[in-house]
Structure 1
Amino acid sequence: MTTPEPQSPAPQPSTPQSKDRIYRSPGGMAGGSLLLVIACWLGFDAIVAGEGSTPWLALASLILTVPLVVAFTLRPAVFANEDRLRIRNPLRVIVVPWGQVASLRSGYSNEVVAESGRKFQLWAVPVSLRGRKKAARREARRGAEAGGRSGGAFGGGLGGLSGGMRGGGRATVPDGPVRAETDRVMDELRELRETRQKEPEAQGEVTVRWAYEIAGPAVAGAVLLVILLVVG
């Protein structure tokens, strides 16, 4: 009679990590893509068709400008999950656990204030004064339309009231004020902070890493450009 071998316990599934919410600037990405196309077109044309030192100057200019265009237009992004906020700015990557976030402020720029007092700007979530004015106009228009509906309902007597309760084919007024897109993003981040700030998983230290992958090529291009200009 054989003794059955003890079976190893089934592996427990690891706790799934929450997915990041990713915020970017559509205008910045569109503008950066356009600038890259123009810079590469002019640069490669000068490299292929240029004479003398022109191809080398064009190459050095591309090495300098392309990383900077990418850094300030395509690179900025904000990644938020239930544990931390990761800010990818042009030349730095900042990771701030929610437990270290003192506040999220919106003025002429959107920024995160850490418990230590350090401030980090959110390049990927720029403040749009035009968007705020547009949202204010929409809110005023919506308020006027809501007032007109209520006045029509009461002015029409019981028939108007019953028609208003049935809907009368009119759209209902959405709840909450109209907000600009970047202000809605900041509202979402504030809500995450309020709900997750005291959680054990959301504790830790603020870390800052410089983007050497951007700074290195840009500095090399600048040095090469200066040498070529001096040598002539």
Structure 2
Amino acid sequence: MKNQTFRSKVGWVFGWAWIVFAAWNTWDLIAHGSMPSALIAGAVLGVITLVVFLLALRPAIVAEQGGVRVRNPLRNAYVPWNAVGDVHVTHSIIIEAGHTTIRCWTPQATARERARATARAGRTAKTQQTMTPGERAAAEAVAGRTHADFVAQQLSDMSQTRSGDSTGETAVTWSPSALAAVAATVVLVVVTVILA
């Protein structure tokens, strides 16, 4: 079965746009820059790229065959399907797994998105008289729900239907890729301070 990934689409697009921008500027600094200003600009690009990677590109919820994997900025969490308890949404998705509570970085339900969903539910209620039964059922299914609400419902449903396929144990660990990115950026900044 194919893994299903849930994340902020806006963050993902912004993150890759920044990566392209940073790569172009890095090439320009290497080709046309002069020391030490090119090194300082490169360090600034590196720090901003680290922040974009950690906050926009890395966070995701991955529904795997045996469980759900949550990638937050610096940590990874894995919960097998049979250990998933309550999944609910405050401003973020929260997965309860026994004594472990995992707060997912993305997708989040912002106040603006929540207000739009509520307004959409009000408009749907007013126009239901003119809808066919199929349109009415579809409108009721999404009325008042945000993307985070939809993802939380999907995870709850998967935990019930896939509990027999569960593998592994609940674990929350530091992310090697995130820590490596932080370390590389720190080295770049230190080298810049020493040489500039």
Tell me if TM exceeds 0.5.
Answer: yes
Aligned to 2:75: 92
Larger radius of gyration: 1
TM-score normalised according to structure 2 size: 0.81
CA contact (8 A) 1:60 1:225 kept: yes
CA contact (8 A) 2:90 2:109 kept: yes
The structure in which a higher percent of residues are strand is 2
How many residues end up aligned between the 2 structures? 191
Report how far residue 143 of structure 1 moved. 1.2
Worse-superposed segment, 219-228 or 20-29: 219-228
Report how far residue 231 of structure 1 moved. 4.8
List 4+ stretches of structure 1 deviating above 6 A: none
The structure in which a higher percent of residues are helix is 2
| Runs of 5+ unmatched residues, structure 1 | 1-17, 150-169
Report how far residue 230 of structure 1 moved. 4.5
CA contact (8 A) 1:96 1:205 kept: yes
The reply to whether residue 129 of structure 1 matches residue 73 of structure 2 is no
Percent identical among aligned pairs is 27
Report how far residue 107 of structure 1 moved. 0.6
Q: Alignment partner of 1:125: what SS?
A: strand
The reply to whether residue 192 of structure 1 matches residue 175 of structure 2 is no
Report how far residue 62 of structure 1 moved. 4.0
CA contact (8 A) 1:111 1:122 kept: yes
CA contact (8 A) 2:93 2:106 kept: no
Match of 1:115 among 93, 98, 116: 98
Distance 1:26 1:231 in 2: 39
Partner deviation per Cα, 1:129-186 (whole Å, 9 max, x = no partner): 3222222212211211235x5xxxxxxxxxxxxxxxxxxxx64442234122221111
Report how far residue 96 of structure 1 moved. 0.5
CA RMSD of aligned residues (A): 2.5
Which amino acid is the alignment partner of residue 174 of structure 1?
R
Partner deviation per Cα, 1:69-105 (whole Å, 9 max, x = no partner): 2232122221214531111222222110022222212
Aligned to 1:22: 5
